[in-house]
Chains A and B, each alone.
Chain A
């Protein structure tokens, strides 16, 4: 591989070969072709320490949590709660009880829609979302608006895929009850200035939910510094197993919210006349949780922290700039999402070629990208495309893999010339 001038100090300290050795799936070949996995915004791969942790839990530690007096249950409970402390540390939350385990980002948002929205949003009230939200941060609010006769307001964006903050400020009025906005756009890669946006909302007395599904895997997150009221993300996008996610909420809000689901574990006492709900965080964790996945998430956060989120962010940024520069050199490429501040998501169109053809042809050479609307159809409409091809990088990707992407796109162009 050629030496690239864009590669700076952070890359040299970042031993990507060493990291890749931790991810068994990256060694996989399809018909002899090495896998080039560039669909990390959809789901990331799992390193061996997380797989090992998952296995050890099932071999040595499994029982139900928060129930029995026997040793195994106590061990499982301790490991599960230990994972919660790891999440607290990872996002710098104040208290463990502010960390609710969910099934994923989608369930976390639905929990807030139910627990906060149904309780505090009524007829004529307004919810502000942005033009670049994933469907999971649109549809629950639309459902609530329909139910309550409330109104959805949308922060517009410019052609680069940056939110228009002046327009955002104008959306506030005395009926505004919530802002729900992505920290990083999954379709465009834009990193939104959520800290400033939260400050704006708070000046109007409005709480903010931040969808961190695409941010938590790629940037250091400090919920107290952001001062967000809710922060949500998924495990499977940050090297953890599927089926586990997180809702962070300020304790003051979570205390006021109604439970999301009723059942075991979320109660203190039940009679046929009345039920007393459990304290935080258990009030929101009805039923047996995804214990193994939560412990796996804890192991994944350990792995990311050991690697260093600052270093991950710096390395991915170099990968993004390299891939963007190389892709931009090709004729007939339109980048969708050219914000100044971006995470390592490269959404693009190849002139005259449908994204699905791009995706299928890249797949011939083992290059796995996403082609589609990325569950963000309003973004596609905003840019006037039915779909885009999207390469999304993780810290285990290499510059050689970025080259493989570019070579694949060149092949597409040759075939369709």
Chain B
């Protein structure tokens, strides 16, 4: 359990935490969602410009732990330019990776460098930190205004209705 968390705090995650990409508000945003984990204080606001079912621009701001911030930062770099369907597939795959349903070593996926977060599956208390930005992205696509991963036996399942 401990060797896996060693893998989690890799240079790329620490770097995105320190210098988050696409930090701020997308100027031309037509989608917005807020995500929060009240119990640990993670809070992000995601703004997107979606045109012709494609993510033209995306930005985030907020505060949280390194895992949450790095996840948000890397998510913005990866989904920019993707179609909504492609991004939603990544939401699904990221969730499955973080909750241990997708083994990125042996099963096909499109996560690329997002697999640096694979180690989070061995840290149940931190899964929701990594997933929150993706949760929030899904909420933005679904025109829900808020997302939370708190209180879900299985993160992501609590999304409905946006608490």
Contact = CB atoms under 8 A, between A and B. Distances in A.
Interface string B92-136: 000000000000000000000000000000010110010000000
Given A372-B39, A372-B40, A387-B40, A356 B5 contact: no
Nearest to B3: A31
B3 A356 contact: no
Contacts of B40: 354, 356, 372, 386-387
B1 A360 contact: no
Interface stretch (B45-53, B62-70, B144-152, B154-162): B62-70
Interface stretch (B6-14, B23-31, B73-81): B6-14
A115 B51 CA distance: 63
Contacts of B64: 354
B18 interface: yes
A33 interface: yes
Contacts of B9: 357, 360-361, 415
Interface residues on B, range: 20 to 34
Contact of B2 (A31, A353, A355): A31
A353 B129 CA distance: 14
A365 B65 CA distance: 19
A356 B65 contact: yes
A30 interface: yes
A361 B5 CA distance: 7
A212 interface: no
Given A386-B41, A415-B14, A416-B14, A356 B2 contact: no
B67 A357 contact: yes
Given A387-B41, A416-B18, A364 B125 contact: no
B65 A364 contact: no
A355 B129 CA distance: 12
Contacts of B14: 415-416
Contacts of B18: 416
B39 A31 contact: no
A283 interface: no
Contacts of A360: 5, 8-9, 67, 123, 125-126
Interface string A362-375: 01111000001100
Contacts of B125: 356, 360
> Secondary structure of the A side of the interface?
mixed
Contact of A364 (B6, B41, B126): B6
Contacts of B66: 353-354, 357, 416
A354 B9 CA distance: 13
B95 to A, nearest CB: 19
Interface residues on A, range: 20 to 34
A364 B129 contact: no
B90 to A, nearest CB: 24
Contacts of A365: 2
A367 B64 CA distance: 22
Interface string A102-130: 00000000000000000000000000000
Contact of B65 (A357, A363, A366): A357
Contacts of A355: 65
Contacts of B8: 360
Nearest to B65: A354
A31 B3 CA distance: 8
A353 B123 CA distance: 18
Contacts of B67: 356-357, 360
Nearest to B41: A386
A382 B157 CA distance: 33
B5 to A, nearest CB: 5
Nearest to B14: A415
- Of A360, A364, A366, the most chain B CB neighbours within 10 A belong to A360
A336 to B, nearest CB: 14
Given A353-B66, A354-B64, A364 B2 contact: yes
A360 B125 CA distance: 9
A365 B6 CA distance: 9
Nearest to B66: A357
A357 to B, nearest CB: 5
Q: Which 10 A-B pairs have the closest CB atoms?
A: A386-B41, A354-B65, A356-B65, A357-B66, A364-B2, A357-B65, A364-B5, A31-B2, A364-B6, A30-B2
18 contacts: A353-B66, A354-B40, A354-B41, A354-B64, A354-B65, A354-B66, A356-B40, A356-B125, A360-B8, A360-B9, A361-B5, A363-B1, A363-B5, A364-B6, A365-B2, A415-B14, A416-B17, A416-B66
Given A354-B40, A360-B8, A363-B5, 7 more contacts: A354-B41, A354-B68, A357-B67, A360-B5, A361-B9, A366-B2, A416-B14
